[in-house]
Chains A and B, each alone.
Chain A
Amino acid sequence: MVKVKFFAALRERLQCAELDIDSQPSDSVAEIRHRLLQQHPSWRRELLDNDVLCAKNFTFVDLQAAVNPGDELAFFPPVTGG
């Protein structure tokens, strides 16, 4: 199981802040994202947006990063603090 969080505009558009999803030991971020889209086909446009960033356990990662059960993934738009 992997915890997935969404923030800001992405959270609002998906109407989801957080969910748990099944994972396999050899999963990548891309595979988790693919599984999310299988469960929520309507998220396709927002989640596949090239601007969406991903973090694993509080660190930025790319789509090839390995994801293990118990990890926390987050997807969010480009940041705008400061």
Chain B
Amino acid sequence: MGTEIRVQQDDFSVADEYQQLAQESSCGAVVTFAGLVRELAEGQLDAMTLEHYPGMTEQVLADLVAQARGRWQLGQVTLIHRVGRLALNDQIVFVGVAAPHRKAAFEAAMFIMDFLKTQAPFWKQEHTTDGSYWVAAKDTDQAAATAWQDD
């Protein structure tokens, strides 16, 4: 029942991560999520740069997983976030959760992503044909994280 947290420039393999998550005999469920760089509504994204706060990032992510373990019975949890310059369709983030049962695995994965979006010190800068712009935080992300506090 380990926790693996990685902040890295390199890409990751969902298949390899799944193999690591699927090795516990006590866990009958593995949920994985991968977030990708997607095209803007206007369709002019060249690339994206992910900046973070080294030190704080790892601490916040570890704390999110610890909070998830306080709410659900979980096995292995793997959380990967890439930083640096990423191209369209590149993988950005991975969360994988093993648990005895599917409900806990689904919910914990969602919980971790919802809080990562509002708590982990990452910032996206989009590079478009018109110039570079820092992405604005979304109210919908804040609302998703806040909703867990009412549970």
* Chain A residues packing against B (C-beta within 8 Å): 5, 7-9, 12, 51, 55, 58-60, 74, 76-82
Contacts and interface: CB of A to CB of B under 8 A. Distances in A.
A81 B56 contact: no
Contact of A77 (B35, B93, B117, B123): B123
Interface in B27-52: 35, 50-52
Given A7-B51, A8-B51, A8-B134, A79 B56 contact: no
Contacts of B53: 5, 7, 55, 58, 74, 76
B52 A81 contact: yes
B137 interface: yes
Interface of B: 35, 50-53, 55-56, 59-60, 81, 92-93, 113, 116-125, 134-138, 141
A74 B55 CA distance: 12
Contacts of B56: 55, 58-59, 74
30 contacts: A7-B51, A7-B121, A8-B51, A8-B125, A51-B137, A55-B56, A58-B53, A58-B59, A58-B60, A59-B56, A59-B59, A60-B119, A74-B53, A74-B121, A76-B121, A77-B134, A78-B136, A78-B137, A79-B121, A79-B122, A80-B135, A80-B137, A80-B138, A81-B52, A81-B116, A81-B117, A82-B116, A82-B117, A82-B120, A82-B141
